[in-house]
Amino acid sequence: MKKHLHEIWMLTAVTLIIILSIIAKTELIKIIASVCGVIYILGIAKENRTSQIFGFINTAIYAYLMLKDGVYGSAIYNGLYCLPMLVYTYINWGKNSNDKDNKKLKVATYSVKTRCYLIMAAIAIITVYYAIAINLGVNYALVDAIVITCGAFGMYAISKKHIEQWYAFIIVNIANISMWTVESIKDPSNATMVLMFVIYMINNIYGLKTWRGSRKYDRNKVKKEV
């Protein structure tokens, strides 16, 4: 039943994006990015390795859109960091774990202490990046700083199947929703991008719940890393 619900939600999300895109007369390239993004995130939630292919298409298009809109930090981040990381994740997810009973790479989590260090580091990096971006005249400097900092960690966490990646991308999507909401006021066709990131966030919450509820994720047995 759960499998069917997963498929129904994927079909619903894709259909909503296409319908809104037609109404808003959105560019085809944005529609493709949105659809690929939905398939990618839902695939990650189910630990589907081949979903990285859709993630690659989505990221390549988004890097182009960010470059076009002058959000250079996000353009560089997506093009020069995320794309290679997607390839690395595809390779790493195909490797065997040390678990003799289950060769598939398992979901892992950081210790509470490490999480605190990561949060403090993220705040420091975002602050410094924001200050530099403001001086350089970067559009949406704060959004750029949050997306790049949390997104960079999230991409690495995905490659290692760390559950913390879901939290990182929930923050990323909140930032992106705010940016594209402003852009959609200027140009209604960007409403598709808002919907895309809303759906992404819903998918992130769904993925977090799926990983936490999975038998692979047990607070007493899950692999913890310092």
Contact 91, 107 (CB under 8 A): no
Q: Tell me: pLDDT of 158 over 80.
A: yes
User: What is the C-alpha separation between 170 and 202, in angstroms, rounded?
Assistant: 9
Phi, psi dihedrals of residue 221, rounded to the nearest 5° = -120, -15
Q: Is 137 exposed, middle or buried (0-12, 13-18, 19+ CB in 10 A)?
A: exposed
Instruction: Please identify which residue in the block is written with the tokens 């607070």.
Output: 219
In the structure, what pLDDT confidence band is assigned to residue 218 with cuts at 50, 70 and 90? very low
Average pLDDT on 171-192 reads 87
Supply the pTM of this predicted model.
0.80
User: What is the C-alpha separation between 33 and 53, in angstroms, rounded?
Assistant: 12
The mean-pLDDT minimum among 78-92, 102-116, 143-157, 200-214 falls in: 102-116
Contact 85, 155 (CB under 8 A): yes
User: What is the C-alpha separation between 127 and 125, in angstroms, rounded?
Assistant: 5
- Encode pLDDT of 9-62 as tens digits: 888 888 887 887 787 777 888 889 888 988 998 889 888 888 999 999 999 998
Number of domains observed in the structure of the chain: 1
The per-residue pLDDT for 103 is 52
| CA distances to 111, 118, 162, 164, 225 from 114, in Å | 5, 6, 12, 11, 8
Average pLDDT on 122-145 reads 90
Q: Inter-axis angle of helices 52-68 and 28-45, to 10 degrees?
A: 140
- Residue 178 sits in which domain range? 2-225
- Encode pLDDT of 59-109 as tens digits: 999 899 888 877 777 788 889 999 999 999 998 888 754 444 445 678 889
The per-residue pLDDT for 96 is 56
